[in-house]
Each structure stands twice: as C-alpha cells, then as structure tokens.
Amino acid sequence: MLNNFPLHLHPMSQFSAAITACNTESKFAEAYSKGVSKASYWEYMFEDSMNLIAKLPPIAATIYRNLYRDGSSIGAIDKEKDWSANFTSMLGYDNPTLTELMRLYLTIHSDHEGGNVSAHTVHLIGSALSDPYLAFAGGMNGLAGPLHGLANQEVLVWLTKLQKDLGPDASEELVKEFVWKTLKSGQVVPGYGHAVLRRTDPRYIVQRDFALKHLPEDPLFKLVSQLYKIVPQILLELGKVKNPWPNVDAHSGVLLQYFGMTEMQFYTVLFGVSRALGTTASMVWDRALGLPIERPKSMTTEGLMKLVGAV
C-alpha cells in the first residue's frame, strides 16, 4: 500500500493510513469477535500495542525512503540493537550521535500527561473498544495538526525564512523586528507557548543540552538560542500570553537538520513513532481498569442558563 501512494500524499497521511490498515492483524479485534471476557481485554491490547510499536519504525522508514530516498530498502532488523538504533539505520543513517539523538527524541516525545490532542484522541477512540491500530491512527490525525505535532515542521520553515530574510548572524534588533512582524501579521511564533506548561518545556532543555554538547557552533542552533533570549520578552510585552516559553517543537528540527535529515514534512512522523509508547501504555491501563466509553456531557438550554445564572 505504501509503495503505491502518490508522492504528494503528506507523510502523516501515509503514516495514519498504514497504521489503520494494520488492524487486520489485531489480536484484540479477533478476541473480541470471539467473545473473550472483559477481564482479559487488556492482555490483547498489550499484544497489539507491542506489535504496533514494533511495526512503526519500518512503516515510518518505508515512507521516508519512498519519498526521499528513491524507494530504497529499509534493510533488515538487527535484533542485537535497540528500537532507536534499528529505526535510525532503517531511515538510512549510520551516525552514532544521531542514533543517540534518536533515543533522546523517541523518549521525550512519548507523552507527558495524556491531555494533549493525540493522547486524548487515542484514549477516546480506544474507549469505544476500537483496537489499538484504529485508536492510534486517530491520534496521529490529531498530531498532524499545526497547533500540535506539525509545529516542529513549522518551526523549521519559520527559522529558515528568518535566516533567508536576515542573513547569517543577524543582529538582536533585526531578529526582534522579524518576531514582531510575524506577530503583527496575525501569526504565532511557532514552538512558543503551551496549553499547560508555564515555564520552558523540560524537553526543550534536554535538546538544548544535547545541542550545546554536540553542535554548539551550528548557525541554526545559535539562532534558536538567540530566539530563546528574545521571544519570551516580546510575548510578555504583547500580553495575554499565559506561557511565553519555548516548547519541545522549538528545538527538535534544528537537531535533525544538523545530522542531514532536512525533510521537514517528515518530522511529525518521528514524533508519532515516539507517541505510541505513551498512548498505548495508557490504553492497556484503560482496558485493565475497565474504563467506560467516553462522551462529553450534554446539557439542555435551560441547564446552561441556570449554570450562568440567567434564570
């Protein structure tokens, strides 16, 4: 299926479609159709989750190779190596520092409290007893949104534009002006702010530490550091911003491009591969705890009016 998709189909659409199609393999769906007891749902969810996690690197790497490496083979799995090392080599890279970065990347994007769009969507779809493949694919469609996982792609597009417009080693004044221009044109500074965090995202900090160790002189990293000094102040000045600090997406693309992975459209797929770890773990617990189907509360007009003191 992947080998027959048109090349203009976004990598996230390919990723989500392929994961959905994998539900032909679902142990949970099979067991459910045979009427297995509720008490053992979680065991089948666990099997599916482990299989899904194993399938994601070859799926993602096949998409990458088809789109950006002339459809070359992802090679064989090396059982002596870990998930990240295999994934990096399937993508076609053999730099040990990039493998180390991939370990960091896949760890920090796994999840961080379940309330974000992708994790919550996986939980919601799973609550209908859809199998992990269907539920996770739904979460990936949420991750593909620009306010969620697509932001890492948007950050690099914005940084590249900034660099192109202002040239290398732009002064603080010029960078400030560029940031204000972005805000005044009704856009956001990609990679800044967060729905719940109220300080610099710790996932930004660990990526910054990695960059300081491995690529301190990289021009894009220097630009990201410069923005870290400039943007929060501007956002505070702007007012109405609850969190002016950078989030995980503000940094990841810069690290990947340094190691030669410059295909920005693919970045969200990497985020998705990682997110399987957190979301499937939660889904196994959901079934073990027998959590019910999720449904937002509905209210009558009268109920709403009472709530706001209008009657």
Residues with a catalytic annotation lie at 148, 194, 249
Distances (CA, A) of 219 to 170, 190, 254, 265: 11, 19, 10, 21
Per-residue buried b or exposed e for 118-131, using 16+ beta carbons within 10 Å of the residue's own CB:
bbbbbbbbbbebbb
Chain residues 78-117 in contact with ligand MLT, contact rule CB under 6 A: 112, 116
| Closer to ligand MLT by Cβ: residue 74 or 125 | 125
Going by the DSSP 8-state scheme, the letter that residue 297 receives in this structure is P
Distances (CA, A) of 302 to 295, 306, 308, 310: 20, 6, 10, 9
Min dist. Cβ of residue 116 to ligand MLT (A): 3
CB neighbourhood size of 245 (10 A): 19
| Closer to ligand MLT by Cβ: residue 195 or 236 | 195
| Closer to ligand MLT by Cβ: residue 26 or 116 | 116
Binding pattern for the stretch 13-32 against ligand MLT, x by CB under 6 A and - elsewhere: --------------------
Min dist. Cβ of residue 271 to ligand MLT (A): 8
Distances (CA, A) of 112 to 18, 174, 190, 277: 25, 35, 20, 11
Binding pattern for the stretch 181-200 against ligand MLT, x by CB under 6 A and - elsewhere: -------------xx-----
Q: Which two tokens stand for residue 240?
A: 């109405």
Min dist. Cβ of residue 147 to ligand MLT (A): 9
Chain residues 232-251 in contact with ligand MLT, contact rule CB under 6 A: 247-248
| Closer to ligand MLT by Cβ: residue 123 or 194 | 194
Q: Which residues would be at the binding site for ligand MLT (CB under 6 A)?
A: 112, 116, 194-195, 247-248
